[in-house]
Amino acid sequence: MGLVQTKVQPLFIGVDGGGSKCRATIYSVDGNVLGTGVAGRANPLHGLAQTFESIEESTRLALLDAGMKESDSRLLVAGLGLAGVNVPRLYQDVVNWQHPFAAMYVTTDLHTACIGAHRGADGAVIITGTGSCGYSHVDDTSLSIGGYGFALGDKGSGAWLGLKAAEHVLLALDGFAVSTSLTDMLLNYFNVTDALGIVENLAGKSSSCYAALARNVLDCANDGDAVAIAIVQEGADYISEMARKLFSLNPVRFSMIGGLAEPLQAWLSADVVAKISETLAPPEFGAMYFAQQEFNKSLSV
């Protein structure tokens, strides 16, 4: 099979699976990017078949991008960073997959994002995009906080900001709370005139539909809307507290990742902002690095 038959030095592929897309990057042994492919969502929590399909498709595209053949996936040692695999059942489902790689190593998307952010060094990350979660890895100790998904958790995330804003506006339109510019923003956003119009646009929709409102909620807050300020500040306070919990492991570096990382900064506590370092590499790098470490361990056994 693969490695032995071909007698080729293995290449590594890092795969970052997420709720909206799956990105795969092939690296040489010394960490140079050879090719990249992007496919649809790959979140085991929302369907294994689609996850595997997206991993295969992004791998195929990365191989073509690298000037290789589709069948060359057998030459690749793969690292997969996936949401949901902290649930033992889902981890086992992914590990049991008849994958197309020479070898496959699986961990959480949080873990690979953290490895990437610090280029393999220990550290902590908070991801605030559609969802929110925190992860710290120091020596052999790791700490994972939040990330329980919409609408159960993910406080301070884009979807959470959108949901809290919509909740408040619906209460305001029924006369239970004061209407502010946030109410006008939401009605205008959906081009509707009443609560039912909002409900028609949001009922049963995915977290990304709610997260699409986050920028506007932040704009309202930055413009001084009292309701928006209260929502954004509550979310940001949670993120600040999450950061302090991650700091309890004394990570050398701390990064914030995701679409809300930058706009939320103005609302975080100064002690947290002071500790933010830029991310050094993307999650795919982290996934590749993880695979490399595990692969080398397996050789040295």
Subset of residues 81 to 110 that bind a second copy, contact rule: CB under 8 A: 86-87, 89
**256 within 8 A of 276, measured Cβ to Cβ:** yes
Among 30, 139, 174, 278, the residue binding a second copy under the rule CB under 8 A is 174
* 161 belongs to the binding site for a second copy (CB under 8 A): no
Q: Give first-to-last CA distance, the chain, whole Å.
A: 20
Residue 175 CB, nearest approach to a second copy (Å): 6
How far lies 192's CA from each of 57, 188, 189, 197, 200, in Å? 39, 6, 8, 5, 10
- The structure tokens listed for 245 are 């919990």
Region 190-249 residues binding a second copy, contact defined as CB under 8 A: 195-196, 199-200, 202-204, 238, 241-242, 245
Q: Which is nearer to a second copy, 49 or 299 (CB)?
A: 49
Can residue 155 be called a binding residue for a second copy (CB under 8 A)? yes
The least CB distance from residue 203 to a second copy, in Å, is 5
Q: In Å, what is the CA distance from 217 to each residue of 128, 169, 176, 212, 264?
A: 15, 11, 20, 10, 11
Burial class (CB in 10 A: 0-12, 13-18, 19+), 188: exposed
Q: CB of 30 within 8 A of CB of 292? A: no
The stretches of the chain forming alpha helices (DSSP H) are 2-6, 48-65, 88-95, 109-117, 158-173, 181-190, 195-202, 207-211, 214-222, 226-247, 261-264, 270-273, 283-300
**Shortest CB 147 distance to a second copy, Å:** 9
φ, ψ for residue 299 (rounded to 5)?
-75, -35
Choose which of 175, 270, 274, 299 interacts with a second copy (CB under 8 A).
Answer: 175
Q: How many residues sit in the footprint of a second copy (CB under 8 A)?
A: 32
User: Of the candidates 15, 124, 166, 217, which one interacts with a second copy according to CB under 8 A?
Assistant: 166
Task: Pick the binder of a second copy from 8, 151, 252, 266 (CB under 8 A).
Answer: 151
Helix axes 181-190, 214-222, angle to 10 degrees: 150
Q: Does 79 bind a second copy (CB under 8 A)?
A: no
Of 106, 105, 127, residue with least CA distance to 117 = 127
Contact status: 50 vs a second copy (CB under 8 A) = no
Query: In this chain, which of 3, 33, 38, 45 binds a second copy, going by CB under 8 A?
Result: 45
> Does residue number 287 form part of the binding site for a second copy (CB under 8 A)?
no
- Binder of a second copy out of 120, 153, 259, 263 (CB under 8 A): 153
Q: Are strands 76-82 and 11-17 parallel, antiparallel or unpaired?
A: parallel
Quick check: 62 binds a second copy (CB under 8 A)?
no
Footprint of a second copy (CB under 8 A): 45-46, 86-87, 89, 145-146, 148-149, 151-153, 155, 163, 166-167, 170-171, 174-176, 195-196, 199-200, 202-204, 238, 241-242, 245
